[in-house]
């Protein structure tokens, strides 16, 4: 009988010890209550709290957690109805506060994020909600994190997953985007045409400038050529005049013959020339040239103050086309 009592006593002691040992997993913390009052926190590992006097109050997850925000119908500032959802990442930093400052942490966080999401997105236009998602996330994070600080919770991230406008607004936005793209395409095409016309006008301008410069250069060259020809003509005339003044007839005969040949050449190349008459014999041509030289010498003789000497032509024959026949 005594052995049975001893065995039961040992068994009860072992059961009491087993009930007093608290093994806490990594990533969790347990709140310990003494007759219903919080007295401490059991950290991961082996913990011993006498049974019946101490008990585990809350098992708090200390790892980063995520709450999925269900779809919400929100009216924007410009009265557009949109549907949106998101996720919230949070982490408990103070287990006693998370256990005793709020009755249901997950429900409180979900309601807090939902109401602030409506407030933030309701203060923005539709275009702003679609284009400023990062701003919405930042504003939500700031508001919710500040509100959850008394609960011992840190909001790490708030992300909007999707924003869905109504179908009619989506169609209107598609038409608007198409019109904007067509407008930009027309603007780019017009700018390209304008640039092309400008380049073409610049090219024509440069061509006209170069053409005008070419004409100016050509006129300058022609004037120089005419000036050189006039100088040569004047020099030749001066030489012939000096030869005539000195009493020689060979120079004037040569000069007159040269002019005569040039005149004949022009007659021959003229498109209106049909028939050219020459003296019958070449000697008659020489006699004609000699006679012209004598006439020129006599015309210049009074200016020199000396009587003109009669010139003796090399060959005398029939009168040429410039000689006068005796009456």
Q: DSSP letter for 186, please.
A: H
Tell which phi-psi region holds residue 92, choosing left (phi > 0), alpha (psi between -120 and 50) or beta. Answer: beta
- Counting as low any pLDDT under 70, the low residues of the chain are 240, 243-256, 266-268, 270-327
Structure confidence at residue 63 (pLDDT):
94
Calpha distance 32→55 (Å, rounded): 6
Calpha distance 296→279 (Å, rounded): 21
Calpha distance 173→180 (Å, rounded): 10
pLDDT tens-digit map of 254-276: 666 777 777 777 666 766 655 66
Structure confidence at residue 319 (pLDDT):
46
Structure confidence at residue 111 (pLDDT):
93
Question: Average pLDDT of the chain?
Answer: 80
Calpha distance 305→301 (Å, rounded): 7
pLDDT tens-digit map of 127-144: 888 888 899 999 999 999
What's the pTM value of the predicted model, to 2 decimals? 0.53
DSSP line for 262-290: HHHHHHHH-TT-------SSHHHHHHHHH
Place of tokens 């998370």: 98
CATH number of 65-165: 3.30.479.30
Structure confidence at residue 285 (pLDDT):
54
């Amino acid at each position: 009988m005594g052995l049975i009592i001893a065995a039961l006593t040992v068994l009860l002691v072992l059961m009491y010890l087993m009930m007093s040992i608290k093994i806490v997993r990594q990533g969790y913390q347990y709140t310990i209550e003494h007759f219903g009052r919080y007295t401490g926190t059991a950290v991961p590992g082996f913990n011993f709290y006498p049974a019946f006097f101490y008990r585990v109050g809350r098992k708090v997850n200390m790892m980063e957690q995520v709450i999925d925000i269900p779809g919400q119908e929100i009216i924007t500032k410009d009265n557009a109805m949109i549907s949106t959802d998101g996720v919230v990442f949070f982490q408990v930093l103070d287990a006693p506060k998370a256990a005793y400052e709020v009755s249901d942490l997950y429900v409180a966080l979900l309601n807090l994020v939902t109401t602030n999401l409506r407030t933030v997105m309701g203060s923005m236009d539709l275009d702003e909600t679609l284009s400023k998602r990062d701003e919405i996330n930042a504003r939500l994070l700031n508001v919710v994190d500040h509100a959850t600080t008394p609960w011992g919770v840190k909001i790490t991230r708030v992300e909007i997953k999707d924003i869905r406008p109504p179908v009619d607004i989506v169609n209107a936005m598609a038409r608007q985007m198409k019109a904007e793209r067509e407008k930009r395409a027309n603007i780019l095409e017009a700018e390209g045409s304008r640039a092309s016309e400008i380049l073409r006008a610049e090219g024509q301008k440069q061509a006209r400038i170069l053409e005008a410069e070419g004409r100016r250069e050509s006129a300058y060259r022609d004037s120089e050529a005419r000036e050189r020809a006039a100088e040569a003509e004047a020099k030749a005339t001066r030489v012939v005049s000096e030869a005539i003044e000195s009493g020689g007839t060979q120079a004037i005969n040569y000069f007159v013959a040269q002019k005569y040949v040039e005149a004949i050449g022009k007659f021959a190349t003229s498109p209106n020339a049909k028939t050219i008459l020459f003296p019958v014999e070449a000697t008659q041509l020489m006699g004609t040239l000699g006679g012209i030289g004598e006439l020129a010498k006599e015309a210049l003789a009074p200016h020199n103050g000396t009587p003109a000497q009669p010139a003796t032509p090399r060959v005398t024959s029939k009168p040429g086309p410039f000689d006068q026949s005796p009456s």
